Structure 1
C-alpha cells in the first residue's frame, strides 16, 4: 500500500487516540494533519510495524498539544467540557470504547498529567504492548509500567461507578426529556439523584453557569427554564444516549448524562458554539486499524 492508503486505513484509530488524549475533535484533527505530514516523509521500506509507527507519531504530537492546551484551559471561562461527538452506532456496541470516550470518563482523564494520560489511554483503551507505549512517550518500559500503575489507580479512584445498559440509559433519558419539556418539577426531581451535578460549558461565548450547580433542587430549577423555550431531541453522543437542545432550527446545547442506580448523577451541557461543529455528522471512532 502507498503511504496515503496506510494512513487512511489507520485514520479512525489515530483520531480516536488523539481525541481521547485531548478531549477536542478540532485539536485531534490538527494532530492527524501533523501526523500525516511526518508520515509522508517516512521511507516505508524501513518500517516494520506501520500501525505502531503511526500511533507513535500521533501520540507525540498529541502530547505536545496537550501541554499547550493545559495552559489554555487554566484561563478558560467557566467549566471546561470535552467537545461532544455525534457517534456512529458501532461505538455504542463496543462497550469499552464507549466507556472510554464518555463525557464523565474524559473528565477523569483531564485530571491526569499528560504522560500519564497517554500511557493510560494506550494501555487501558487500546491495549498496546508496553514496548510500543515506551517508544511513543519516550520512556523506558520500566518507567511506563510504573506510570501505567499510577494512572490506573488514579482513574479507578475517580471514574464513574456502575454499569448502565443502553436500554436503561434511554429510559432514564426519555423520562428526563419529558420532565424538562413539560416543566414538571416533581417528575424532574424523580429522575435526578440528590447529589446530581450540572456542568455547563459556554466558554465565555454562550451564557452558562461559571461554577458547577449541585443538588437536585438547584439543577431542576435551572432545567425547568427550558420548558416551552426549546425543543429536545435524542442523539447518540460519545457512544451514549444524549439530548440536543434546539432553539428554532439552531443547535443550542448538547446534554450528556451519567447514570447510577437509575438516577442521573451527572449532567454535562456544552453550549460553547465552537464545540458543536462535530454534531452535524457522525464521527467514526475505532480501537482497531
Structure 2
C-alpha cells in the first residue's frame, strides 16, 4: 500500500500533467471499484455519504467526526490519492477551517476543499481568510496536502460570473492549489474562468450540469473533472427503477447489472 506522502505527491503531479477525471465514491466498495477500473485519484462526496446514512446533504448535518471517519476509511482502502469534500469545513471561523484541514490530513487524506458558503455565501474578505487558514494548515504538513477553494455562487442561484471569478482570484492569492466553481454550465463561462486564473481548475460534469465531454474540457484547459454525487445518484436511479417495477408491476427489471462473480472476485482479490 502506498504511503500517504506518496499518494499526496502523486496527486500533486496529476494536476501538472494534463486533464484527469477524479470520480466521487461514497464508500470503500465504490472506491475500490473505481481504482480497479483505472482511475488515478478519487474525491469523496458529502451528499453520497449523507444519503447512505438516510440524511440530507448540508453543512453539519453529518458531524465532522463521522465525515472524517468515513473519508479516512475510504482513503485507507485504496492506493489512490483521495481528496475530501469538506463542505464549509464545519464552521465559519478560519480557526475551525484550519483545524478541519489538519484533521483531514491526520485521517489519511491527500487534499480537501473549503467552500465560501456556510448557510449563505460569505463576504469575500471572510471567505479569503478561510482559504488562507486552510492553506496555512496544509503547508504545515509533511506532505503536499492539496487545498481546493470553491466559489459556490452558481450552486446558490447567484449566476454572477464576474463575482465568481473575483472570488477565485482572491482564493488564488490566498494560496489555494486548485480552484473550483461548481455549477458552471457553458463553454464560454468555463473558458473565462480558466483564462482568469493561473491555478488548476476543477469543473463539475454531468448530464444536468453541462453537456461538455472530457475532451472538450481538456481543450478549454481544465485540469480536473469531478462528478460530485452523480455516480451515487446513477446507482440509486437503477435501484429505484428496479424496486418500483417489483412493487407496481410485479416484474424484475434490473437493467444493467454487474455480475456477482465480478464483484466477488474484485473484493476477494482474485
Which of the two has higher C-alpha Rg? 1
Higher-strand-fraction structure:
1
Report which structure shows greater RCO (CA 8 Å, sep ≥6): 1
Higher-helix-fraction structure:
1
TM-score of the superposed pair, with normalisation by structure 2 = 0.29
TM-score of the superposed pair, with normalisation by structure 1 = 0.27
